[in-house]
């Protein structure tokens, strides 16, 4: 592991449909950190103009509120700014993000990894709280909300099936089967009021999944088409045309560069990226040019933009894709640093 990653601030995303129990979980995680003297900061996102959930969080916890929009679309670009300000001002050891129940997690994963371009953060967990009774009910009816709930389950690295007290034993079995069909990989716990083992939030917890949630419907996320709930119904208008196999894993690799790299070698690496890497972005300094560049890679096309970053910004590359050979890629990136002159 490169030394720089060790200093990254862990970020945990709490996902789940409206009213499923995200704030209930958040409060427990906050208490868990406080008991260990861990400094936590929170980003809360609400569709309305008032952060009602925030009222339930203890006053001494640094909190940024993102109101009047869904974190995954209208105010998505603000997330990295909020994160940066929160981290600069409060220097937390860990950050929790509670998204609106209407948010599509793929878009938030994308937004958080984008934020990794500007600060040393490491998205560790996507904990999806499943409203057991609601999922059962919606599964009978189908529709857009059910589809969103499915996406939230598929993208999870950890699953919490909540409100078990409102389910008969056979219903509980049915809910678990439903969840398992959508995501066979993430650890699953059944809870009442989200009371569960919180060790996944430990600072020392290995960055285990490094985001390897199941994402059968990645085709939707990849094509930018998603439904974001009542206030936020839309199709993003960028169809990349590609389809992705089912039962695959989404993962990200974040690499902070120790120094400048050779531009030709880097471009070659990008051209060689496996098909499974569908998105990459970052900031790089080249040994053979006198400027820094922002690069964007999507669906086999790469774009470099000359930039002059403000403040202290690290050179970093973030790769997002499905079950790609992360270690091999990490190795190639390290080789780039060693062979700076190409």
Ligand X SMILES: Nc1nc2c(ncn2[C@@H]2O[C@H](COP(=O)(O)OP(=O)(O)OP(=O)(O)O)[C@@H](O)[C@H]2O)c(=O)[nH]1
Cα 236 to chain centroid, rounded: 18
Give the burial class of 55: count Cβ atoms within 10 A of its Cβ; 0-12 exposed, 13-18 middle, 19 or more buried: exposed
Distance of closest approach, residue 278 Cβ to ligand X, in angstroms: 29
Is 9 or 161 the residue whose CB approaches ligand X more closely?
161
Whose tokens are 């085709």? That residue is 219
Which DSSP category does 99 fall into? -
Distance of closest approach, residue 129 Cβ to ligand X, in angstroms: 6
Distance of closest approach, residue 9 Cβ to ligand X, in angstroms: 23
* Residue 125: its H or E element: strand 121-131
Is 73 or 317 the residue whose CB approaches ligand X more closely?
73
Residues that bind ligand X (CB under 6 A): 16, 18-24, 53, 101, 162-163, 165-166, 192-194
Distance of closest approach, residue 23 Cβ to ligand X, in angstroms: 3
Name the nearest CA neighbour of 93 among 195, 208, 203, 186. 203
Tell me if residue 93 falls in helix, strand or coil. coil
Q: Is 17 left (phi over 0), alpha (psi -120 to 50) or beta?
A: beta
Name the nearest CA neighbour of 146 among 178, 169, 110, 172. 178
Distance of closest approach, residue 167 Cβ to ligand X, in angstroms: 10
Is 22 or 217 the residue whose CB approaches ligand X more closely?
22
Q: Assess contact for 128 and 156: CB atoms under 8 A.
A: yes
Is 50 or 203 the residue whose CB approaches ligand X more closely?
50
Q: Supply 25's token pair.
A: 């979980």
* Residue 147: its H or E element: helix 144-154
Strands 9-16 and 63-66, how do they pair? unpaired
Q: Supply 119's token pair.
A: 């600060």
Distance of closest approach, residue 272 Cβ to ligand X, in angstroms: 42
Phi, psi of 83 (to 5 degrees): -60, -45
Is 25 or 269 the residue whose CB approaches ligand X more closely?
25
Is 165 or 268 the residue whose CB approaches ligand X more closely?
165
Distance of closest approach, residue 193 Cβ to ligand X, in angstroms: 4
Q: Assess contact for 182 and 154: CB atoms under 8 A.
A: yes
Distance of closest approach, residue 20 Cβ to ligand X, in angstroms: 4
């Amino acid at each position: 592991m490169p030394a720089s990653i060790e200093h990254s601030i862990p970020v945990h995303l709490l996902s789940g449909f409206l009213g499923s129990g995200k704030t209930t979980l958040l409060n427990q995680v906050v208490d868990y950190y406080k008991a260990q003297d861990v400094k936590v900061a929170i980003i809360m996102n609400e569709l309305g103009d008032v952060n009602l959930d925030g009222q339930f969080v203890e006053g001494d916890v640094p909190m940024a509120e993102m109101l009047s929009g869904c974190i995954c679309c209208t105010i998505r670009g603000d997330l990295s700014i909020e994160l940066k300000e929160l981290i600069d001002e409060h220097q937390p050891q860990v950050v929790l993000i509670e998204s609106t129940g209407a948010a599509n997690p793929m878009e938030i994963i994308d937004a958080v990894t984008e934020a990794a371009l500007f600060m040393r953060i490491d998205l560790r967990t996507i904990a999806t709280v499943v409203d057991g009774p609601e999922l059962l009910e919606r599964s009978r009816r189908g529709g857009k909300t059910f589809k969103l709930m499915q996406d939230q389950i598929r993208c999870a690295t950890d699953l919490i099936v909540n409100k078990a007290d409102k389910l008969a034993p056979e219903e509980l079995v049915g809910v678990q089967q439903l969840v398992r069909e959508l995501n066979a990989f993430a650890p699953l716990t059944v809870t009442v009021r989200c009371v569960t083992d919180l060790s996944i939030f430990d600072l020392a917890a290995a960055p285990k999944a490094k985001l390897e949630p199941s994402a059968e419907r990645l085709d939707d996320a990849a094509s930018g088409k998603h439904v974001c709930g009542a206030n936020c119904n839309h199709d993003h208008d960028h169809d990349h045309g590609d389809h992705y196999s089912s039962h695959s894993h989404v993962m990200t690799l974040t690499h902070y560069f120790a120094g400048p790299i050779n531009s030709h070698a880097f471009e070659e690496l990008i051209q060689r990226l496996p098909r499974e890497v569908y998105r990459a972005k970052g900031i790089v300094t080249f040994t053979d040019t006198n400027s820094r560049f922002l690069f964007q890679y999507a669906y086999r096309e790469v774009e470099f933009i000359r930039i002059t970053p403000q403040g202290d910004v690290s050179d970093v590359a973030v790769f997002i894709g499905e079950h790609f050979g992360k270690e091999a890629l990490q190795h190639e990136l390290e080789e780039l640093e060693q062979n700076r002159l190409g």
